[in-house]
């Protein structure tokens, strides 16, 4: 219940976000009406349509978001008509007739007594509320994003539904307070100044302005950039209360308490029959794995943390596969292209992975383990019991000791010496330089983008010509040229186009893909405007030239010691259609 309360509070904070400003005129336009017959149905309609869209987004992913885009168009039409009714009594009467007729029919079906006009008045505000909710849904803040991300990975369940309704109820509660206060203000204006007609017309103009702002995308760009810093800080603090502590999140190299203080039972190995395909092996079952020690490695092939841990997982497989160990790589995709069997098969081949790989494209195994991280390692004993786990990179000797302890417990003796050599590691699999890494993983798609600094802001799902600011601060980035920024990626409409990033790290990587038709895309990389020379990455030459020929993570920069400080990175694409997903560092 604590989590529900925090999400409810996050919903209440929605009213403080500038992104909600275009919606407020629709709410306040009903402020002079009786709350129970006008305001409450409007808020109920908002909450219902918002919760419906949010639930579809959690269950259905990007297709639900696209459906909502059409819903926004319908909502804009409805609310434009509503604004015009505020400007004209005659038009209001004309447009209200269908709603009154519908209300009369509904009422006649539910009761044998005649209804008064006041009884049918809830239909119109309810419809307006539904339309307003369609506009409000994309404006929700980071707390809702956290809930939806968890829902997308964990699947639909009662807990997710409760959180979504909690968020909607919080937002409706804050708007109800504002509506009640607004009603008193407007009532005072009418009584004291006789200004009711002018208030009505003023609200009509405000609604039309709001509709125009939403239609031109100002609610998702300008207003988002003007977001109140205080609101963001409060929401982020609430997220901190919802998320696990820092030492239990991916990338921190967290060994379970069991591995540090013994190996008690943490649960049972879930079924593996949710895999969509298997590579390097026929389908494996938990029953068939009895008697073996099992290492489950959740990974995805564009994840830099996963790629850096793979040499150790492969090393353990080679060393202990003849001594009772079975390694299963559960490939749970982060991006849509990682669900493609051909892409995963090629990545498994290129990475030299010889152990069984289960494709978990529907997150069935992920949910069965209640997993949340890439990479994540689960250690299963010979009786099919989970005995330990580890999230993120690092602590490889401790993980190997856990494996050896479970193998010895199962009766496997004469184990080879411990240790995995990393002397020959190259490219992206070299361990990160944590002491010099001040730049975080940064997503390009608008669903999770941060620190985007092109002056126009993000214009979702439409071809837009972007420019870069004259100066970037650390970890800010921008686009130049014509791009279509989607939910998880940005696509270059036509060459030339570029991306710039002010970073501080030894390595810079970028997840890229060629044009949808598979045509390769040439690019060139610059550091502070110059060729990278000795700072080039595994996928570029000393002049900074490279080619995007498949969907994967590309290492573009690796700086030698002594040259690691703040730089401005630029990648210019010489061919159109290239797809960019995320920056990572090392």
Last residue of one domain, picked from the residues 392, 424, 456 = 424
Say if 37 falls within a structural domain: yes
- Do 317 and 327 contact (CB within 8 A), yes or no? yes
- Do 481 and 575 contact (CB within 8 A), yes or no? no
Helix (H) or strand (E) holding 238: helix 229-242
The answer on 220 and 74 residing in a single domain is: yes
Say if 355 falls within a structural domain: yes
pLDDT band with cut points at 50, 70 and 90 for residue 293: very high
The answer on 414 and 272 residing in a single domain is: yes
The answer on 302 and 207 residing in a single domain is: no
Say if 249 falls within a structural domain: no
* Separation CA 128–CA 555 (nearest Å): 51
The answer on 13 and 67 residing in a single domain is: yes
Q: According to the model, what pLDDT value does residue 137 have?
A: 53
Q: According to the model, what pLDDT value does residue 222 have?
A: 42
Say if 168 falls within a structural domain: yes
The answer on 448 and 379 residing in a single domain is: no
- Do 16 and 231 contact (CB within 8 A), yes or no? yes
3-state secondary structure (DSSP) of residue 256: coil
β-strand partners of 432: none
Based on the structure, what is the number of domains in the chain?
Answer: 3
Last residue of one domain, picked from the residues 193, 222, 242 = 242
Residue 367 structural domain: 254-424
Could you give phi then psi for residue 293, rounded to 5 degrees?
-85, 135
Say if 346 falls within a structural domain: yes
Last residue of one domain, picked from the residues 199, 217, 242 = 242
Q: According to the model, what pLDDT value does residue 245 have?
A: 38
* Separation CA 147–CA 434 (nearest Å): 30
Neighbours of 194 (CB within 10 A): 9
The answer on 313 and 408 residing in a single domain is: yes
Q: Is the pLDDT of residue 518 over 70?
A: yes
- Encoded tokens for 255: 């060994």
Q: Higher pLDDT residue, 495 or 136?
A: 495
The answer on 226 and 81 residing in a single domain is: yes
The answer on 149 and 101 residing in a single domain is: yes
Q: Any idea what the CATH number is for the domain that residue 376 is in?
A: 3.40.30.10
What is the sign of the dihedral through the CA atoms of 254, 259, 260 and 261?
Answer: positive
Q: Which residues of 47-73 are buried (b: 16+ CB within 10 A; e: fewer)?
A: bbbbbbbbbbbbeeeeebbeebeebbe
The answer on 449 and 331 residing in a single domain is: no
The predicted-structure confidence for 299-333, as pLDDT tens digits, reads as follows 999 999 999 999 999 999 999 999 999 999 999 99
The answer on 124 and 150 residing in a single domain is: yes
Residues 6+ apart with CB under 8 A from 545: 522, 523, 524, 525
* Separation CA 537–CA 28 (nearest Å): 56
Neighbours of 261 (CB within 10 A): 8
- Do 500 and 468 contact (CB within 8 A), yes or no? yes
Say if 429 falls within a structural domain: no
Q: According to the model, what pLDDT value does residue 76 have?
A: 61
Helices 229-242 & 2-12, crossing angle to 10 degrees? 170
- Do 311 and 298 contact (CB within 8 A), yes or no? no
Say if 476 falls within a structural domain: yes
The answer on 171 and 225 residing in a single domain is: yes
pLDDT band with cut points at 50, 70 and 90 for residue 212: confident
The predicted-structure confidence for 176-187, as pLDDT tens digits, reads as follows 776 677 656 555
By mean pLDDT, which of 49-58, 366-375, 479-488 is the weakest? 49-58
Could you give phi then psi for residue 230, rounded to 5 degrees?
-60, -40
Say if 248 falls within a structural domain: no
The answer on 442 and 320 residing in a single domain is: no
Give the residue-averaged pLDDT of 190-196: 49
Beta strands in 446-486 (DSSP E): 464-466, 477-485
């Amino acid at each position: 219940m604590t989590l529900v309360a925090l999400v409810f509070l996050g919903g209440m904070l929605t009213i403080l976000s500038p992104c909600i400003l275009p919606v407020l005129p629709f709410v306040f336009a009903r402020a002079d009406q009786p709350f129970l017959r006008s305001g409450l149905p409007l808020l109920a309609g908002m909450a219902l349509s918002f919760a419906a869209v949010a639930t579809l987004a959690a269950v259905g992913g990007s297709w639900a978001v696209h459906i909502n885009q059409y819903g926004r168009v319908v909502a804009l039409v409805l609310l434009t008509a509503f604004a015009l009714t505020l400007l004209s009594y005659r038009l209001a009467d004309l447009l209200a007739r269908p709603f009154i007729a519908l209300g009369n029919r509904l009422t006649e079906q539910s009761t044998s007594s005649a209804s008064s006009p006041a009884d049918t008045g809830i239909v119109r505000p309810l419809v307006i509320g539904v339309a307003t909710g369609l506009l409000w849904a994309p404006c929700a803040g980071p707390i809702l994003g956290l809930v939806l991300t968890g829902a997308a990975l964990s699947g639909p369940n009662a807990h997710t539904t409760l959180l979504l309704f909690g968020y909607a109820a919080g937002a409706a509660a804050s708007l109800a307070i504002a509506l009640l206060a607004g009603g008193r203000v407007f009532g005072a204006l009418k009584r004291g100044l006789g200004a009711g007609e002018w208030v009505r017309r003023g609200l009509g103009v405000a609604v039309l302005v709001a509709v125009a702002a939403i239609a031109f995308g100002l609610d998702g760009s300008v207003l988002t950039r003007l977001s109140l810093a205080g609101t963001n800080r409060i929401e982020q603090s609430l997220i901190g209360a919802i998320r696990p502590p820092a030492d239990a999140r991916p990338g921190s190299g967290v060994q379970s308490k069991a591995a540090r203080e013994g190996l008690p039972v943490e649960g049972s190995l879930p079924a593996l029959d949710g895999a969509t395909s298997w590579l390097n092996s026929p389908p494996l079952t938990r029953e068939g794995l009895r008697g073996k020690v099992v290492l489950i490695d959740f990974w995805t092939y564009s994840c830099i943390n996963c790629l850096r841990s793979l040499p150790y997982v492969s090393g353990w497989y080679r060393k202990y596969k003849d001594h009772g160990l079975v390694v299963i790589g559960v490939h749970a995709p982060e991006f849509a292209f990682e669900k493609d069997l051909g892409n995963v098969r090629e990545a498994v081949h290129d990475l030299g992975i010889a152990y069984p790989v289960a494709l978990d494209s529907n997150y069935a195994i992920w949910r069965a383990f209640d997993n949340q991280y890439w990479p994540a390692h689960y250690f299963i004993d010979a009786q099919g019991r989970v005995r330990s786990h580890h999230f993120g990179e690092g602590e490889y000797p401790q993980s190997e000791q856990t494996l050896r302890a479970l193998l010895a417990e199962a009766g496997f003796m004469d184990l080879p010496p411990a240790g995995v050599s990393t002397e020959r590691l190259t490219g992206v699999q070299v361990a990160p330089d944590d002491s010099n890494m001040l730049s975080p993983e940064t997503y390009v798609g608008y669903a999770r983008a941060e620190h985007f600094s092109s002056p126009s802001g993000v214009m979702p799902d439409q071809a837009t010509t972007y420019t870069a600011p004259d100066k970037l601060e650390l970890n800010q980035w921008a686009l130049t040229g014509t791009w279509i920024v989607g939910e998880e990626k940005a696509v270059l409409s036509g060459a030339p186009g570029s991306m710039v990033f002010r970073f501080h790290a030894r390595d810079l990587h970028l997840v890229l893909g060629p044009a949808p038709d598979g045509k390769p895309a040439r690019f060139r990389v610059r550091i502070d405007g110059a060729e990278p020379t000795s700072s080039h990455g595994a996928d570029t030459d000393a002049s900074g030239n490279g080619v995007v020929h498949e969907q994967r993570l590309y290492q573009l920069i690796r700086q030698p010691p002594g040259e690691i400080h703040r730089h401005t990175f630029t990648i210019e694409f010489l061919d159109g259609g290239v797809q960019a997903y995320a920056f990572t560092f090392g």
